[in-house]
Chains A and B, each alone.
Chain A
Amino acid sequence: MIDTFLKSLETGSGFWNPLVLGLAIIIALLLIYIIRGFGKKDYKKGTEQTKAFLSGNPEYSKDEMHIKGKNLYWGFTQALKSVYNVLEKMHNGNTSDYVLWFVIIIGALFIIIGVI
């Protein structure tokens, strides 16, 4: 019963057992929680020290200081600018252009499949 319950999931190449991982995580969690308990818990609430560090700059309202989710991919869009520029030009909202791309790619796929 336990053997079946604790059996690893196998795909033929890879395998893993979520229960063993789950148990290990619980054990490690307890250990780290205990270690963390040795640390100092308190701090001075409602004082200067609980304000966000902004290098001495004034703190504006939350709406003004919000960083948009779009910035998450800034590193990507900047690094792959040449690719994004082409893709943005292709993304022009014209349906007939999209159909044309669809036909071209289907044609290219047929050629590749035919050759191979």
Chain B
Amino acid sequence: MVNMAGFSLEFLLLVVGTIGLALFGIFFGLIYKGIDRKLSAHMQGRIGPPIRQPFRDVVKLFTKENIVPDNAIAWVFNWAPIIGLVGTISILLYLPIGSINPIANTSGDLIIVLYLLMIPSLAMVIGGFASGSIYATVGAQREMATMIAYEFPFAIIIVTIAWILKTINIEATNVFSLSFIAANPLWGNLGILGFIGFIILLLVLVIVTPAELSKIPFDSPEAETEIAGGLLAEYSGRNLGIFYLTDAVKTVVMASIIVALFFPYNISGFFGLNNIPAIAVDFVFYLIKVLFVILFSVTLIRVAIARLKIDQIVGIYWLWITLLGLVGLICIMWDYQMMLRYEFYKPIFSILGLQ
């Protein structure tokens, strides 16, 4: 009976939490999209649309005709956007938001997040193939190649972080858990070499992010000027609107992953706050961190660099970014060995007098 009550409470939390996170992801995703567009416009010397423009775009798309091409496989074509958005929203359940632990804290870790991140891309690929259009097919093929390319360096980052956490905390059995990673920031536990390695891994993740989000310079699957929008060429109306929302939520998801892995610090302790004020302050601080991550990994990169060809994308990720990731991994491993052998080799934070 006790278990039944506990189960009901957990089920209720899951229902409310999923709906709340979905609305949170959509709302802030669209706001960040608006800020991104405004900032990139200013960087290019344009005024740009107002920050609320993405909300207007979605409303407009929902009032437009939802055309299903004659050549398309209608049910796959219609369901692909829904699956993509649902997959993206489900990732939010595993991510810490400020000082709030993930809702599915004990029900999944970073490995499941890595798998779930593939769902929106796969949904777009399936939707593209189901469109019955040559542009969409070419776009879908490029998205597949891009996806395979960036997964490898991304996996290196995750394995490195889990390895160093397990080495430092031998007793821990949940090193892949995002709440555990967020509760044990690595910066303070690394020596000089490890610190450099960790910065390299951050750089790798910052470069992986635009590809995850199909943003310039890794947007060859969509490439409006070349293949007329690629996988989205045949999408219109509410289906395109749902893909638009998926992109917005995925931006929040990717930025939240970078925040949880590399910048999990909160500021409520600094002000001596507790309970609800602490959660509120940490939440605002989290939103600011997400904004800065988006600014550096999406806005700046897409304004500064032109679109790459698909073979250049694969070459960059499989050769240079993977090599860079391995260099970061080796730095962190050497760092740990040196700390183990030489007593004078201390964490960089203690050298700087921060710990």
User: Which residues of A approach B to under 8 Å, CB–CB?
Assistant: 1-3, 6, 8, 10, 12-17, 20-21, 23-25, 27-29, 31-33, 35-36, 38-44, 46, 49-55, 62, 65, 67, 71-76, 78-80
Contacts and interface: CB of A to CB of B under 8 A. Distances in A.
Contacts of A32: 22, 82, 85-86, 89, 242
B111 interface: yes
A53 B133 contact: yes
B30 interface: no
B85 A16 contact: no
Contacts of B241: 39
A109 B111 CA distance: 32
B175 A23 contact: no
Given A13-B162, A16-B112, A36 B82 contact: yes
The residue in A16, A41, A43 that gathers the most chain B C-beta atoms within 10 A of its C-beta is A16
A21 to B, nearest CB: 6
Contact of B144 (A14, A54, A72): A72
Given A36-B242, A67-B134, A41 B106 contact: no
B93 A40 contact: no
Nearest 6 Cβ contacts at the A-B interface: A39-B238, A78-B311, A75-B145, A17-B107, A79-B314, A79-B315
B56 interface: no
A10 B175 CA distance: 12
B311 A74 contact: yes
B70 A40 contact: no
Contacts of B334: none
Given A15-B108, A29-B86, A24 B4 contact: no
Contacts of B148: 76
Given A21-B90, A24-B18, A71-B141, A76 B314 contact: yes
B11 A24 contact: no
A20 B14 contact: yes
A23 B86 contact: no
B61 A39 contact: yes
B107 A8 contact: yes
Contacts of B319: 79
B65 A49 contact: yes
Interface centre among B14, B67, B162, B228, by most chain A C-beta atoms within 10 angstroms, is B67
Interface string B306-334: 00001111110011000000000000000
Interface string B92-103: 010000000000
Nearest to B240: A39
- Output the residue of B19, B148, B238 with the most chain A CB within 10 A: B238
B176 A13 contact: yes
A46 B249 CA distance: 35
A17 B318 contact: no
Interface centre among A1, A2, A53 (most CB of B within 10 A): A53
Interface in B1-58: 3-4, 7, 11, 14-15, 18-19, 22
B310 A74 contact: yes
B349 interface: no
10 contacts: A1-B3, A3-B3, A6-B7, A14-B109, A17-B106, A20-B108, A25-B87, A40-B64, A41-B238, A79-B314
Q: Which of B86, B162, B228, B318 has the most CB of A within 10 A?
A: B86
Nearest to B135: A53
Interface string B126-150: 0000011111011001101110110
Interface string B213-238: 00000000000000010000110011
B145 A21 contact: no
B173 interface: yes
A25 B22 CA distance: 11
Contact of B69 (A17, A29, A40, A51): A51
B228 A40 contact: no
B266 interface: no
A35 B66 CA distance: 14
A27 B104 CA distance: 14
Given A13-B175, A78-B311, 20 more contacts: A2-B3, A8-B106, A16-B107, A17-B104, A23-B11, A25-B90, A28-B18, A28-B90, A29-B82, A40-B65, A40-B66, A41-B238, A49-B67, A50-B69, A52-B70, A52-B71, A55-B228, A72-B145, A75-B149, A79-B319
Contacts of A46: 70
